[in-house]
Structure 1
């Protein structure tokens, strides 16, 4: 909106300046006699007259070039903004309507439910659970749930890391994502903050974009639906 208003005002000023210049030239021609018209265009114009015409032409040309550049820049920016919003809407719709994504959420809840802190050691043990030979079907099923839940948790973290990268690169609209996913993403990172800290102790670049975005989006002194502290900072382990 601001860009369009600025472009409109600049265009109006350009038209006004151009009209004023032409009026300054044409009004004497309209009111003067034929002889005075010839006098305006002598065979050998004075240096001042020549300089005036040259300066006037240069100013008009410069203003026209600047207006063309600004028009192209604002048009390109508006098209880029519209494309980014459309891409963001597509990503959100595909996620919400994806049965696979919803299944990933359910698998995560099976062993690592929301509003429960996930320790790195617990997650690591769950994903590396080995089923002993000759185990019963119940034990096999239980171990599978633990492994799937650990994998699902990191799948969700990877998804939000992907969104954070998209925002950083300018491919996704941050304002739209913040309005729709802020609380969901912050809840997930709050639950996983010890897990992320453990991963970053091994590799500092793990979820670096998600960590930065969480730092920008999280609210101070936030509370979850149970009244417990929420959106806490990710600890730094040494």
Structure 2
């Protein structure tokens, strides 16, 4: 978009200069407007070209200045065009013009310096957090517990996600989850909460988005997929749960698995749930008492029909 603005302002400047040259050297052609108006628009389009080019350079070099930079660009355009009008039509205000221009550029320089200082501090803080996670025994223990079972595209199944959210319901009264699977689920929730913390830090500009994206974008996509049903079940209770993880996944990877498959999670192609099949049934009914067996003996005829044993006569 900014390249379009630069091109449009450059084209307008060239066209106006050509018109000014043609009408200036020819006494037979009558311009549609006065030459003074054309001169003003030449200065105006030239200031636009200069400001757009500088804006593009500063945004690429100092990304943190992007928020208030349009305001300063508008001020520069105003100062340049006001300066032209003052110099051409009322020279007695040149002193005020010089003071205004000097103050404007000094303020811009101070502002850019302050923004860069804050950005450097934010990057240093972000780097410290990244290094702390790498050296944290708790973080490493939780990530190992999660990835020990859930790796290679496997995800936490829906039944265990529901159990983890509310294990005291009647549906799960016979459920007994093995310790290693329980640790893996808890580890996944720990990592999800860690990325939720990072997302909120980025949202309020306490952490550097670009640095974290380079380090964690691929990891975050896998974690969101792994905890797909966990996120869905938590958001059924509170829609704000893990909203930062979803937003961050969209910003870093272009799409969020949760948002993409939220409407039909049971048939989503997110990954293979674990445990599944007989193993899941065994876990869900681990504490279920065995069904009582009828101790009464039965006789069976040749056609397979059971015959009750006759009671003994006293």
TM-score band w.r.t. shorter chain:
0.5 to 0.7
- Whether 1:161 aligns to 2:199 is no
Residues paired across the two proteins, number: 178
Does the 8 Å CA contact 1:105/1:152 hold for their aligned counterparts?
yes
- 1:213 and 2:282 are equivalent in the alignment: no
Specify whether residues 127 and 210 from structure 1 end up closer, same or farther in structure 2 by C-alpha distance, changes over 3 A only: closer
List, as ranges, runs of 4+ consecutive aligned residues in structure 1 with deviation greater than 4 Å.
126-130
State the structure with bigger RCO (CA 8 A, min sep 6), 1 or 2.
1
Moved more, 119-128 or 155-164: 119-128
Q: Rg larger in 1 or in 2?
A: 2
Query: What secondary structure sits across from 1:170 in the alignment?
Result: coil
3-state SS, counterpart of residue 204 of structure 1: coil
- Residues 127 and 105 (structure 1 numbering): CA distance in 2 closer, same or farther, change over 3 Å? farther
Q: Does 1:3 align with 2:58?
A: yes
Counterpart among 244, 252, 262 of residue 236 in structure 1: 262
- Residue 104 (structure 1) aligns with: 142
Shift of 1:200: 0.9
Residue range with higher mean Cα deviation, 114-123 or 201-210: 114-123
Cα 1:216–1:112 shift into 2, 3 Å: same
- The residue number in structure 1 matching 2:103 is 65
| Structure 2 residue corresponding to 1:191, chosen from 226, 246, 251 | 226
Q: CA shift at 1:113, angstroms?
A: 3.9
Task: Give the Cα separation in 1 of the matches to 2:183 and 2:201.
Answer: 27
Who is 1:89 aligned against?
Answer: 127
Aligned to 1:228: none
Unaligned runs of 5+ in 2: 1-55, 63-72, 81-88, 169-175, 265-314
- 1:78-127 deviation line (CA, Å, top 9, x unaligned): 11111111111111111112122111112223444452121342134367
CA contact (8 A) 1:201 1:237 kept: no
In the other structure, the counterpart of 1:21 is none
Q: Is the 8 A contact 2:150 2:156 kept in 1?
A: yes
Secondary structure in 2 aligned to 1:172? coil
- State the TM-score, normalized to the length of structure 2: 0.49
Deviation at 1:129, TM superposition (A): 7.1
Structure 1 residue runs of 5 or longer lacking an equivalent are 18-47, 131-139, 221-230
Partner residue, 2:91: 52
CA contact 1:115–1:191 (8 Å) conserved in 2: yes
2: CA distance, partners of 1:113 / 1:124? 20
Correspondence 1:77 to 2:115: yes
